[in-house]
Amino acid sequence: MRKHRKKPWWLKPFTVRSIEQTRVEAAHSEMKRTLNILDLVSVGIGASIGMGIFTFAGIAAAEKAGPSIVVSFVISGIAAAFTALSYSEMASMIPMAGSAYAYTCAAMGEFIAWIIGWNLILEYMVGAATVSIGWSAYFIAFLEIAFNCKISTKWVNSPVAFFGEAFITTGNYLNLPAIAISLVFTILLCFDIRQSTRVNAVLVVVKVLTVLLTIFTCIKYINPDNYTPFFPPNEGEFGKYGISGTFSAATTVFFTYIGFDVVSSTSQEAKNPQRDLPIGILGSLLICTFLNIAVGLVMTGVVPYGDLHPAGQNAAKPIAILIATTGLNWLNIVVSLGTIFGSASVVLILLMGQSRILNAMAIDGFFPEVAARIHPKYKTPWFTTILSGVLCALLGGVLPVDVLGDMTSVGTLFAFFLVNINVIILRFKYPGKPRRFKVPLGPFVIPILGAGISVLLFCTIPASTIVHFFIWMGIGVVIYAFYGCSYTRINILHVSGYQTVKEST
């Protein structure tokens, strides 16, 4: 076996991983293959049904779309469906835990792969932190409703807020419940993946039953007058009601559709990834889209849209407001408890996906070798799990929900755009490679529509959020230039997280 000769530094950013190499690495993974179709669908639902319904639907309806939030959910659902089809093809072809990062390695090379991986960190970690803040708000509300227990606001709200174009202090200390939920699930995820998915399955069942109970109980309280005007007139500012508000709200609630891509991050723990991952991705998206639209319709039909997010409220609680409007106190307690369970599953699954993407990137040398290690007993990426959980706890304990939510949507849209482009590239680069699932209508129609809608939604994001996004991107480029480019091993075959010397083909 010859000694590996490194490529010149100016060629390394364009190095791609071959499909054969990817499959060898997947076959030698130390992770346990224990997840079946139901587990994967549960993972998708667990990540999707949460703050899109329980928090951001209220913010988007009250401040951007009004009753047309229903249309916003439809737009986001269609956009997500195009991309879900692309994810399904990629997952059936490249069954690696890195999700969009792994697909981009094979299509565009290590530099773009690093950039998308860096943004997946933004998507999952910030997403989990965002949901932990919403979970905190519902948990405090439940304690007050069920036990008349009130906790000082200084310990349940963020110490900073985003006002205008700058952060300001609020006088609060920390959001302790948000920190606690992140750390509890971090501990759980360090153990066998089977235990985590069982907990998630229980949380998902409670969550879906809660959403259905809310829909069928509150539907009789709908006041048709609340749907008029369905598209509130624009107030002279882009994204403030009107058609632009509907599209801007679609970007906000797009957060609720990020769950299906988490399914692809469990590729190396699925029993039959080529067959089961597309079913898990598309099945979870279909269920979540139906529930999102139904809740949005009932919510704005029962409550005047302006009341769904009262001014000055730290985190929106639209479901709690919906139930309070009906006057059904018993339902308020039941749904509050169900909402707590439901949003908790989102934190669990996003942390699961984050740790596995970080681990995949560490195996490729983008992070120190310790981050590539798998626990010898539990077969989980323990180091990246702990790192993800601690960072999520810090973000959730300190930052406000609105800033984190928009940042999550940016990272998601960027990942979705590249996955659609990857389908086109790999159809031409590897036309004969086996794919258990193919995007219908050829390699152009659906991927181009998915990429185009992602760009359209990206354009509706507030300028301040885009600035934050490019700052994050800039940090990623600097890290690649000074660390990743020197240590990456994408063009070397490595098994079980350790480098095996082999001449690159």
Per-residue model confidence as pLDDT tens digits over 146-189 = 777 777 777 777 777 655 555 666 677 788 888 999 999 999 99
Phi and psi torsions of 404, nearest 5°: -65, -40
Residues counted in the chain: 505
Helices and strands: H and E segment counts in the chain:
19, 4
The pLDDT value recorded for residue 236 is 81
pLDDT at 501: 33
pLDDT for residue 269: 84
Which has more pLDDT, 90 or 14?
90
Predicted local distance difference test score (pLDDT) of residue 274 = 83
In angstroms, how far apart are the furthest CA atoms of the chain? 76
Pick the residue with more confidence: 192 or 215? 215
Q: Specify the higher pLDDT residue, 110 or 399.
A: 110
User: Which letter, b or e, does each residue of 316-353 get, where b requires 16 or more Cβ atoms within 10 Å of its Cβ?
Assistant: bbbbbbbbbbbeeeebbebbbbbbbbbbbbbbbbbbbb
> Which is nearest to 412 in space by CA: 453, 440, 363, 364?
453
Is residue 138 very low, low, confident or very high in pLDDT (cuts 50, 70, 90)?
confident
pLDDT value of residue 161:
64
Tokens 């932990």 sit at which residue?
132
Confirm if 163 and 426 have CB atoms less than 8 A apart: no
Is residue 407's pLDDT more than 80? no
pLDDT of residue 504 exceeding 50, the answer is no
According to DSSP, the residues that pair with 495 across neighbouring strands are 498
With vertex at residue 53, the alpha carbon angle to CA 47 and CA 122, rounded to the nearest 5 degrees, is: 45
Q: Are 119 and 113 in contact (CB under 8 A)?
A: no
- Top pLDDT among 26 and 328 is at 328
- The better pLDDT of the pair 21, 429 is held by 429
**Residues sharing a CB contact under 8 Å with residue 447, sequence separation 6 or more, in sequence order:** 82, 86, 420, 421, 423, 424, 439
Q: What is the mean pLDDT of the chain?
A: 82
* Six-digit token string for 334: 């039941």
pLDDT digits (tens, 9 = 90+) for 89-119: 998 888 877 788 888 888 888 889 899 889 8
pLDDT digits (tens, 9 = 90+) for 69-90: 999 988 888 888 999 999 999 9
Instruction: Find the mean pLDDT for residues 54-81.
Output: 85
Q: What is the pLDDT of residue 4?
A: 46
pLDDT band at 1 (very low <50, low <70, confident <90, very high): very low
| Highest-scoring range by mean pLDDT, 377-381, 421-425, 464-468 | 421-425
At residue 316 the predicted structure's pLDDT band, cuts being 50, 70 and 90, is low
Of the candidates 85, 86, 96, the one whose C-alpha atom is nearest the C-alpha of residue 20 is: 96
pTM for the whole structure: 0.82
Q: Decide if pLDDT at 411 tops 70.
A: yes
Q: Which two tokens stand for residue 462?
A: 């507030």
Q: Which CATH number fits domain 33-504: 3.40.50.740, 1.10.275.10, 3.40.190.80, 1.20.1740.10?
A: 1.20.1740.10
**At a CB cut-off of 8 Å and minimum separation 6, what does 327 contact?**
none
Instruction: Give a three-class secondary structure readout of 313-342.
Output: CCCCCHHHHHHHHHCCHHHHHHHHHHHHHH
Can you give the pLDDT at residue 181? 92
